[in-house]
Amino acid sequence: MTKSTINKPLWVQPWGVLEGFAIALGLLLLAILLEFFMPIAQIPKPTFPKNAILLISFAVFLFIIKYVFRKSKIYRWFASVYAAIPSIVLFLLVLIPMGVIPQFPQGSGVPGAFFNLLSSWIFLIPSFFLLFTLGVATLNRIFPFTIKNIVFSLNHLGLWLCFSAGLFGHSDKIEATVQVNPNEVVWYGTSSSGNHIELPIAIELQKFVAEFYQPRLALFGEKSFSANHDYDLTRSPEIKIDNLLVRIISYLPKAYPMDSSYIDARGVPYAGPAAKVDVLDLSGNSIAQGWISNQTRITPEKSIYLPDGRLLRLLPAEPKYFGSNVKIYSKASSSVIQGTVEVNKPIRIDGWWVYQYSYDNIAGTDSTYSSFKVVYDPWMTLVYIGFAMILMGGIGMAIIYSVKI
């Protein structure tokens, strides 16, 4: 900030950061008024090709004002840090409530813009302000072609592409959850707002596969403690939890209650693990003994209440791996892909990504269904290009500062 922008009346040239914050505040008040009198939810969202035309028109508009007003003081101000800082602060000011206030998808029936900021003027106007200042600053540095200007333009243009693709292409994104039973072909899914939608792809579940860690012991009271995975229950270990020692007398990976005990139930669907334990204090005195098990589809949870009021439980086993052997069909291309969908290993078909999402947590390996998240986002290619440009620009900046070009 130069001395010429300090201790001067507001709106007198040269403008500084105070004018920027005044504009940002005005835009925020305008967004709130628009949301109050004309909620953006009442306006249909443009989809392809309308949103692509809008993005191209916005980019052309930036080029026009670049060559028409490039000598204007106001244009130079928009290309300066005095406009960049307020636009970034205003955008962050809108993002903060999104991390604090629960957000619900449009159409979920929850009223109020602050519960769906992504689909409100309060998010849209600050986003366009930031996109405008970022675009003006980028165009202002393209010429002349120097190494520093090229690196700066790469970094900022990449950020502009990522941001604009997310803003203009959001309405083209389709995301749904698909629940499939074994040997069933499903062509429909459920959107985030709870609506059933027909999909151009279908998923056939051939087999659901899951592996689990052994269940952990946990102690619940005023403070809760849980044991790690570094023991093998089948070897009858002694496990220290807080000020207690838990000795495993017997462990059944699949168990079923019989009278006051448990029997081996390997092969019985939905059966879960159970362990007979002896709870000792640190002096070696036994203070409680009995069976503990977690809840399954066919048995309730069984825990041990200790003399001091605390509760010893056997926690549900945590998944080590889960995935689904599937066939995926496409209506558009009539193609079929067969493979395994795993966590962080999706399958792509005709622009659709199929991710492993969930399963019946209580049933575990006996889950009767597998859930998938299917996503279609045609604007992701532009986002990837933007990320590549940001990466190249970042590397270029690191080289420039390291060799002091």
Q: Are residues 117 and 242 in the same domain?
A: no
pLDDT of residue 246: 94
SS3 label, residue 136: helix
CB atoms within 10 A of CB 77: 21
Q: Is residue 241 part of a domain?
A: yes
91 phi and psi angles, rounded to 5 deg: -65, -45
Q: Are residues 252 and 284 in the same domain?
A: yes
pLDDT of residue 400: 85
Q: Do 27 and 90 form a contact (C-beta atoms < 8 A)? A: yes
What gap in Å lies between CA 50 and CA 20, rounded to an integer?
31
Q: Do 268 and 254 form a contact (C-beta atoms < 8 A)? A: yes
pLDDT of residue 168: 95
Q: Are residues 138 and 252 in the same domain?
A: no
pLDDT of residue 40: 83
What gap in Å lies between CA 342 and CA 347, rounded to an integer?
9
What the block records as the tokens of 301 is: 């949870």
pLDDT band at 4 (very low <50, low <70, confident <90, very high): low
Q: Would you say residue 73 has pLDDT above 90?
A: yes
Q: Is residue 343 part of a domain?
A: yes
What mean pLDDT is reported for the chain?
A: 90
Runs of H (alpha helix) within 101-181: 121-142, 147-168
Q: Is residue 151 part of a domain?
A: no
Q: Which of 118, 142, 166 is the last residue of a domain?
A: 142
The structural domain count of the chain equals 3
Non-local (6+) Cβ contacts of 270 within 8 A are: 296, 297, 298, 363, 366
Q: Is residue 341 part of a domain?
A: yes
Q: Do 125 and 167 form a contact (C-beta atoms < 8 A)? A: no
Unique residue bearing structure tokens 């980028």: 138
pLDDT band at 259 (very low <50, low <70, confident <90, very high): confident
Range with the poorest average pLDDT among 36-40, 123-127, 338-342? 36-40
pLDDT band at 100 (very low <50, low <70, confident <90, very high): confident
Task: Give residue-wise pLDDT tens across range 295-310.
Answer: 998 889 999 999 999 9
What gap in Å lies between CA 246 and CA 248, rounded to an integer?
6
- Residue type for 75, please? Y
Q: Is residue 147 part of a domain?
A: no
Q: Is residue 152 part of a domain?
A: no
Range with the poorest average pLDDT among 111-125, 130-144, 157-171, 360-374? 111-125
C-alpha distances (whole Å) from 295 to each of 119, 261, 309, 382 are 41, 16, 21, 47
pLDDT of residue 3: 55
Task: Give residue-wise pLDDT tens across range 6-37.
Answer: 667 888 888 999 999 999 999 999 999 998 88
**pLDDT: which is higher, 204 or 113:** 204
Q: Is residue 53 part of a domain?
A: yes
Q: Would you say residue 111 has pLDDT above 80?
A: no
Q: Are residues 8 and 112 in the same domain?
A: yes
Q: Would you say residue 206 has pLDDT above 70?
A: yes
Question: In the structure, how many helices (H) and strands (E) does the chain have?
Answer: 7, 17
Q: Are residues 202 and 289 in the same domain?
A: no
- Residue type for 345, please? K
Q: Are residues 183 and 68 in the same domain?
A: no
Which of 325, 366, 360 has its CA nearest to residue 345? Answer: 325
Q: Which of 301, 317, 333 is the last residue of a domain?
A: 317
What gap in Å lies between CA 261 and CA 251, rounded to an integer?
12
What gap in Å lies between CA 117 and CA 70, rounded to an integer?
34
What is this structure's pTM? 0.80
Task: Give residue-wise pLDDT tens across range 319-365.
Answer: 999 999 999 999 988 899 999 999 889 999 999 999 999 999 888 88
Q: Which of 281, 299, 317 is the last residue of a domain?
A: 317
Q: Are residues 233 and 255 in the same domain?
A: yes
What the block records as the tokens of 136 is: 């003006």
Q: Are residues 267 and 301 in the same domain?
A: yes
Length of the chain: 405
Q: Is residue 158 part of a domain?
A: no
Q: Are residues 313 and 334 in the same domain?
A: no
Q: In the predicted model, what is the mean pLDDT of residues 58-82?
A: 94
What gap in Å lies between CA 204 and CA 190, rounded to an integer?
16
Q: In the predicted model, what is the mean pLDDT of residues 42-64?
A: 93
pLDDT of residue 112: 64
**pLDDT: which is higher, 224 or 129:** 129
Q: What is the 3-state secondary structure (H, E, C) of 240-258?
A: EECCEEEEEEEEEEEEEEE
Strands (E), 265-331: 272-281, 286-293, 304-305, 311-314, 319-330
- Residue type for 224, please? S
Q: In the predicted model, what is the mean pLDDT of residues 161-189?
A: 94
> End-to-end alpha-carbon separation of the chain, Å?
25
pLDDT band at 245 (very low <50, low <70, confident <90, very high): very high
Q: Are residues 37 and 122 in the same domain?
A: yes
What gap in Å lies between CA 64 and CA 51, rounded to an integer?
20
pLDDT of residue 1: 55
What the block records as the tokens of 9 is: 């009346």
Which of 202, 249, 169, 238 has its CA nearest to residue 354? Answer: 202
Please give the residue range of the domain that contains residue 327.
174-211+321-376
Q: Are residues 207 and 219 in the same domain?
A: no
pLDDT of residue 306: 94
pLDDT of residue 404: 63
pLDDT band at 110 (very low <50, low <70, confident <90, very high): low
**pLDDT: which is higher, 148 or 107:** 148
What percent of the chain has a predicted confidence (pLDDT) above 90? Answer: 67
SS3 label, residue 285: coil
213 phi and psi angles, rounded to 5 deg: -70, 160
Unique residue bearing structure tokens 């390996």: 365
Q: Are residues 8 and 126 in the same domain?
A: yes
